[in-house]
Amino acid sequence: MTCNEYQLKAAATFIVEGEMKIPYLALGLVGEAGEVAEKIKKAIRNHNSDFSKLDRDDLKRELGDVLWYIATLSRELGLELDDVVTTNLEKLSDRKERGAIASTGDYR
């Protein structure tokens, strides 16, 4: 399945209408990313940073939720997910070539 195919299938499950679609998706994205972070944080607290004790199936579900929000938000913004992915890899490749991956700032 391509990213664009996933994006279309994900869009079929989006039910929010009207002017609140984009804010809803942005808030959902940060909420789901926060759930991923919480699971990692709890491994630090509860398992003395033993990440081998992470529930990877649970994390896979949460990461899937993050992906759904990225795909659906991208679509609502008129962006194809394949293009978002390609643009990101091009940006990272350029930073690596220039030795700027470990730098700071959005446009390094």
What domains are defined for the chain? Answer: 20-92 (1.10.287)
Which parts of the chain register pLDDT below 70?
108
Query: For residue 25, which of 86, 87, 71 has the smallest C-alpha distance?
Result: 71
For position 108, what pLDDT does the model report?
A: 66
**Whole-structure pTM value:** 0.90
Calculate ∠ Cα 36-69-51, nearest 5°: 15
Separation between Cα atoms, residue 96 and residue 89, nearest integer Å: 10
Question: Which tens digits make up the pLDDT trace of 7-27?
Answer: 999 999 999 999 999 999 999
| Token pair for 108 | 């390094």
- The answer to whether 108 and 95 are in contact (CB under 8 A) is yes
Separation between Cα atoms, residue 35 and residue 53, nearest integer Å: 17
For position 15, what pLDDT does the model report?
A: 97
